[in-house]
Amino acid sequence: MWNWFHKLASPPHFYRLAGIFSPWLLWSSLILIAIGTYGGLVLAPADYQQGEGFRIIYVHVPSSYLSTMIYALMAITSGIGLIWRIKLAHAVAASAAPIGASFTVVSLLTGMLWGKPMWGTYWEWDPRLTSELILLFIYFGYMSLRASFEDIGKADRAGGLLAVVGVVNLPIIHYSVIWWSSLHQGPSIKKLDAPSISGDMLWPLLLLIAASTLFFGAILLYRARAEVLDREHNSRWVQDLLGERPGAG
Amino acid sequence: MNLARFFAAIVRRELQIAFKRWGDLVSPLMFFVMVASLFPLALSPQHEMLRNLGPAVLWIAALLATLLSLNALFRADIEDGSMEQLVLSPYPLALALFGKTVAHWLLNGLPLVVLAPALAVTYYLPGEGVRALSLTLLIGTPTLSLLGAVGAALTAGVRQSGGLLALLVLPLMLPVLMFGARATDLAASGEQISGPVYLLSALFLLALSLLPLASAAAIRISLD
Amino acid sequence: MVDCSKTCLSAIDLTLWRGPNCLFEELSFQVDAGSLLLVRGTNGSGKTTLLRVLSGLTRPESGHVQWCGESIEKTRQAFTAALAYFGHADGLKADLTVTQNLEFSARLYGRSGEQVSGLLKALNLSQCAQLETRYLSAGQKRRTALARVLMSNATLWLLDEPVTNLDSVGRDYVEDRLREHIAGGGLAIAATHEDIRLASESPDEIFLGDDA
């Protein structure tokens, strides 16, 4: 087990494996996304309360889910990188951050689009949207902190520590926001949430969540490969790799 | 020397230095007062509106004043080499940094707590609200100092770190702000606030137990 | 590998890069009790960085430092208790007086006030004892920082440019203390671009940079 772990953590090995897996992940995710989208936009019936507008959850829920999941992944890989000093883990965390921030933006935008017909306004201080917004700030903080260090090893360790501190804070922030919004006395505002859902509506959603996770995996591997290549550009195996390709390097 | 005496020596040295630099102490405090007085000037001094805005404005002003004073928390120590000495002393670095954070709170947080009731009066907060403001600031500002210390330690080696520090720690400080300001607001309208006060205390205890360790780890990274 | 029973500091295969520059690669050496090692090299060759690595402040890219046969990261408390680090920066608070600065260290090391004033006299600092260190000259600041090393009772001294900015009296004093320290079974590693004369045979040296 431990040997396997160390072998995977060696950059050339990871580079090779990621190169093999990423196209498979990408294509399978694209196919599943196509099926899920067809199921969600065509086969699923319109919601009896929200009408056709509910279909945006097929984008919104997967991206919300991924925005949190990716942060958790960042924190775990950062923790691994800090404890066992595995540079590859830091490289994975660094590559995941912009993807996570992008999904957070998508989640916010789709939430706002959903809000226009449902609430009559693009922005409501709904607990979910508010939490997403704060999560976006946290992603920005992480990326800015990394960018402010010239030395990549320092950026890794400082960013990793911030990610770990942040992951302890995320649930606190989430539940504070829920408490805070529960004090609103306004009219019964519908929460931005998946409606009580029938089977026809549910399977495309679950499929799309799985498919976007695979899609994220593929993008992460592509980005992490590039990151590893960049970090190791002085090393023997990268030189060899570039030397093998005609016209490159 | 035992740990308690080491801790006392650290706090004592911080206070010694601070009392030679009055200006550094007074400016965040003046900032607090000024931000708080900007709102009535920018809006209009209607009692009703100010009473509604007061809890949020005073809490935000306290948060920003804390942030302002945090930026320099570890900078001087890193520049003059005293931080190296603390890192290489046989005493736990987390304890040394905790001592510095406690001194920071005594010099910056506590004056805010003391000054806040005076400002609350200018916002026409009722007595209950003033008391809640003092109480929540008393529990909340140490948490802010502890959180800010981690941010200050992470950005200590970075040039132009003021904006970065705010970006890092403001999202983490939000729960404290939400509980503190809303509790003050609730108390001002005559409601029970034991719930948010307990939550604020829980946040403080959590911060107290974990964040000095995080600061120590961050300082080791910044010094590397 | 290394004999674990005796007091020694060993560097094992240390490698460190700063940006595109390799400061040292697979550097190994050992310093035993009762000996002095001089780290020589031009400006920017990594003398200070090597001392920081040996103290544990900076983490090497690969390799590790051992104190008495144990990695310094595992025995951090025992190692730092045995260590006096005289860094590139003096570690003095500019707003505090010489006495206040040293009293803080004295409290950490459990020294009395008389010992502090005795050291101040020996280091020729008595007349500026009540002066804030911001008003001291570079040499006086160095001496104040040295006073901290001298009161530490540490086995291992890591000294970064210990005689720079000192006048000849100060140099002689430092060299005398260093000789005593080593004769008493202590270890010292000094990074310097000036000569340090000890009465006995010339100390071991390592060179960093291009002349290596």
Q: What is the pLDDT of residues A129-143, one digit of tens each?
A: 999 999 999 999 999
Residue scoring higher pLDDT (B116 or A247) = B116
Kindly report, residue by residue over A23-68, the tens digit of the pLDDT.
999 999 999 999 999 998 888 888 777 778 888 889 999 999 999 9
Residue at C1 is within a domain: no
Residue at C25 is within a domain: yes
- Indicate the pLDDT class of residue C1, thresholds 50, 70 and 90: very low
pLDDT for C21 equals 78
| Number of domains comprising chain A | 1
Kindly report, residue by residue over B113-123, the tens digit of the pLDDT.
999 999 999 99
| A179–B161 C-beta distance less than 8 A | no
Kindly report the CATH number assigned to the domain that includes residue C205.
3.40.50.300
Question: Nearest C-alpha of chain A: how many angstroms from B24?
Answer: 26
Kindly report, residue by residue over C155-206, the tens digit of the pLDDT.
999 999 988 888 888 888 888 999 999 999 999 999 988 777 765 666 778 8
Range of the domain at A170: 18-186+198-242
For residue B43, the one-letter residue type is: L
**Phi first, then psi: what are they for A11, rounded to 5°?**
-55, -45
Average pLDDT over residues C10-29: 86
Q: Which residue of C has its CA nearest to A152?
A: C19
Q: Work out whether strand C70-71 and strand C156-160 pair parallel, antiparallel, or are unpaired.
A: unpaired
Q: Which residue of C has its CA nearest to B20?
A: C95
Residue at A87 is within a domain: yes
Partners of C81 on chain B (C-beta within 8 Å) are: 90
pLDDT for A1 equals 57
Kindly report, residue by residue over C156-165, the tens digit of the pLDDT.
999 999 888 8
Residue at A100 is within a domain: yes
Question: Nearest C-alpha of chain A: how many angstroms from C208?
Answer: 22
What's the rounded Cα separation, in Å, for the pair A149 and C19? Answer: 12
Average pLDDT over residues B153-182: 90
Angle separating helix axes B47-70 and B110-122, nearest 10 degrees: 160
Residue A215 neighbours by CB under 8 Å, 6+ apart: A25, A26, A29, A30, A33
Decide if pLDDT at B160 tops 80: no
Average pLDDT over residues B121-150: 95
Residue C195 C-beta-side C-alpha neighbours within 13 Å? 5
pLDDT for A196 equals 61
pLDDT for B224 equals 85
pLDDT for C201 equals 62
Decide if pLDDT at A193 tops 60: no
Decide if pLDDT at C212 tops 70: no
Q: Which residue of A has its CA nearest to C20?
A: A234
Residue A4 neighbours by CB under 8 Å, 6+ apart: none
pLDDT for A189 equals 42
Closest partner CB to B20 (pick from C83, C87, C95): C95
Decide if pLDDT at A212 tops 80: yes
Closest partner CB to C95 (pick from B17, B87, B89): B17
Range of the domain at C15: 8-211
Residue B161 C-beta-side C-alpha neighbours within 13 Å? 26
pLDDT for A245 equals 56
Percent of chain B with pLDDT over 90: 83
| C108–B13 C-beta distance less than 8 A | no
Decide if pLDDT at A187 tops 50: no
Residue at C199 is within a domain: yes
Percent of chain B with pLDDT over 70: 100
Range of the domain at B94: 3-223
pLDDT for A178 equals 86
Average pLDDT over residues B81-101: 95
pLDDT for C5 equals 57
What's the rounded Cα separation, in Å, for the pair C86 and B84? Answer: 10
Burial of C19 (0-12, 13-18, 19+ CB in 10 A): exposed
Burial of B194 (0-12, 13-18, 19+ CB in 10 A): exposed
Contact B219, B156 (CB under 8 A): yes
Contact B68, B75 (CB under 8 A): no
pLDDT for A185 equals 46
Decide if pLDDT at A194 tops 60: no
**Phi first, then psi: what are they for A149, rounded to 5°?**
-100, 135
Residue at A7 is within a domain: no
What's the rounded Cα separation, in Å, for the pair B79 and B85? Answer: 12
What's the rounded Cα separation, in Å, for the pair B108 and A1? Answer: 51
Percent of chain C with pLDDT over 90: 43
Question: Nearest C-alpha of chain A: how many angstroms from B56?
Answer: 13
Length of chain B: 224
Burial of B183 (0-12, 13-18, 19+ CB in 10 A): buried
Question: Which residues, listed in sequence order, are joined to residue C84 by a DSSP beta bridge?
Answer: C157
CA B206-B209-B214 angle, to 5 degrees, is 105
Kindly report, residue by residue over B201-220, the tens digit of the pLDDT.
999 999 999 999 999 999 99
| Number of domains comprising chain C | 1
- Indicate the pLDDT class of residue B177, thresholds 50, 70 and 90: very high
pLDDT for A184 equals 58
Average pLDDT over residues B90-98: 95
